[in-house]
Each structure stands twice: as C-alpha cells, then as structure tokens.
Amino acid sequence: MSTAFFFDELCLWHSTGLAAGVFPVGGWVQPPSGAGHAESPDSKRRLKSLMDVSGLTSRLDVRSARPATRGEILAVHEEAYIDALKAMSDSGGGDAGQNAPFGPGSFEIASLSAGLAIEAVDSVVSGDFANAYALTRPPGHHCLRDLGMGFCLLANIPIAIEAAIARRKLTRIAVIDWDVHHGNGTEAIFYDRPEVLTISLHQEHCFPPGPSGLAAHRGTGPGQGFNLNIPLPAGAGEAAYLHALEAIVGPAVAEYRPELIVVANGMDANALDPLARMLLSAESFRKMTEFVKDLAAGLCDGRLVMIHEGGYSEAYVPFCGHAVVASLAGCDTEVADPMRELFELQQPGEAATRFHRSWIDDLRRELGVG
C-alpha cells in the first residue's frame, strides 16, 4: 500500500475576495500571486511545485475527490450557516464570520476541500492506502458549526470524521492539531463527544483571541477528558515540540487506543511565519511526522491521515510540507532546506530549553497524562 496525496488545482483558486488588477477574482479569473492576504494560494502552490520538481509527486498516488455533499456538510454545520455561506458565495463573496473573507464560488471550493479530507480519511480506513495527505484549501480547524473563523469556511476534519463514523462505523478517532493557532473549531464540534480525542498544540494566546486553548478546557458531559490543550510559550523550538509529543501526546493517544489518527498539519509554527512566534524548521516537521507515524504503527495498524491547515511563509512552508509528505511516504529526495543551518543556530538555549521542558511537564501533571 502506498501513500495517497489528495489535491485539486481548484482549491488554489479560492480567493479572499481580492482583485486581480481591475478584474474581480472568481470564475475564470485566478487569484493573483502575492495578493496581500496571508491565506493566499502561493504557499500551497509552491509546495506542490516543489514536490513535482523533486520527483516526490511521482512516488505518490495523486488523486482528486468529489466535493462533500450537502448531507455530509450538515452532519457538522447548521443549515442556516450553510445557506448563508452559499448565498454570499453566489452573490460575490463576503465574510463567513470572524476573519474568514472569501470571494465568488468559494462555497463550492470549500466543499471540494472538505471532500478531499473525506476521501483521504476513507482511503486509509478502507485499507486502500497505508496513509494519506490532503492538501486542503480553504483550511478548516477554526470553523465552528455556525460561524466561519480565521480563514476557515468549513470544518474539513470534523466533516471527514463524521463521514467516517457514518460510513465505516469508527468509534475512536484521535485528532492531533499542531497548527500554531488553537484548533478551537475542531475542539468545539467534538467537545461533548467521547468518540473523538482532540489534542491541540499551539502558541499560547495567539489565535483566537481571548480564553481559547486553555489546559483547563477538557471537554464536557460524555466528552469530559477527551479534549487536551497544550499551550506553549512563544519562542518554543524543536526540543519543546518533541518533548510535548513524547510526554503528553504519545501517552494520551496510547491510552485512548484510536482506530485512526488524523493530524491537522498546520505549518505556521515555522520560524519564518508572519502570524506566529515559534522556531520550528522543516526538519522539525519531519521529526514530528516520524513520531506520529510510529504512534499510528503501534496503535492502529499505521492508519494515519494528515490534513493541510495553516502556514503563511510562502517561501518556507513548501520545505516544511515537502518534509512532511516525504516522511509520510518514506521517501528520500535531493531537496535541501536552505534555512536549516540558520534555524539550528536560532534554537532556544539551555536555560530556555529547561524552562520549556518544565512548562510541558507541569502541563502533563495538570492534564493527568502518563
């Protein structure tokens, strides 16, 4: 079984409502390069291009998918929200809620993005592939049932999970979200559900603003204890992330014993990202991917799906994403990270590393893990 890579060019045509010169984006007018909004298509397009020229793409099973159906979307989102989103999309675009602008036709593209996530999950659960990556856009992990947020229009991962529960009768799924921003949407959707363990590693108080992503938020009702937040201090580097995975994520997921692991692969914790203040490198993301691969191999026969989320450094995200996909597929290429030596020199020193480790160990005890 090989690695499946779910991708569709149309997802790169989702716009944030900006214009290409004098032409409004939409229809046959492609969003321009460098359009000025953080959630531009460029980081994703450059990732796919890097995979193509390195030869990595040719070693994957690349496929598109059908859009998510209205029924699949309504399994997660409220009907009034979906109807309003569709109407705005048909009439030229708007804002889906809080910082979620979009242009004409984006409802259909968001449905396709959710469809890529659905098929990626199903392809692994069905046994067709060992693992899979879905290059989804627009992203989804901030989206609530009734409100878009933080560039997200539809909750891609929850929609895919609900489809898998309905189609494949799964009862235990673990979501590991290492996007630098709190995965508040995924958390909220499953906050009272024991069949999904949600874990978010994120920069403390980065986004959403306010009391989001606190360690004290553990779930409610039947979902009590099935939500874990790991807020990390700004400036955390590779050692902190790996320790958090080893000390908290690994033991929590092992105790839960999922049938499938889904990773919300946001790469905005990289050291060049304009929307966060962390210090990860492409090599960090490779190591993190190896960790979850090993975790999946020991717990759920290797069933692992990675869904693309954030990451806004157009030049550097492609190297992080390439490292993730290559690691997922067990492939070596000649791609060399031009920033690796510099980022190794910029990692936190001994005192900061001790502080980060102590921070994580305190969180582990507060969460009662291990």
Q: Are the beta carbons of 6 and 134 closer than 8 angstroms? A: yes
Query: Count of residues for the chain?
Result: 370
Q: Is the dihedral of CA 331, 336, 339, 343 positive or negative?
A: positive
Helix (H) / strand (E) element for 112: namely helix 106-125
Residue located via tokens 């929307």: 275
Structure tokens at 73: 């979307």
Q: 33 to each of 12, 13, 21, 111, 326, how far by Cα in Å? A: 11, 11, 11, 23, 26
Give me the DSSP letters along 234-283: TT-BHHHHHHHIIIIIHHHHHHH--SEEEEEE--TTBTT-TT---BB-HH
Would you call 304 helix, strand, or coil by DSSP? strand
In whole angstroms, give the CA distance from residue 164 to residue 247.
29
Q: Give me the helices (H) in 20-62, please.
A: 42-54
Q: Are the beta carbons of 102 and 149 closer than 8 angstroms? A: no
Q: Are the beta carbons of 204 and 233 closer than 8 angstroms? A: yes
Where in the sequence numbering do the catalytic residues fall? 142
DSSP state of 207: S
Calculate Rg over the CA atoms of the chain.
19
- b/e for 167-176, b at 16 or more Cβ within 10 A? eeebebbbbb
Residue located via tokens 């005192």: 351
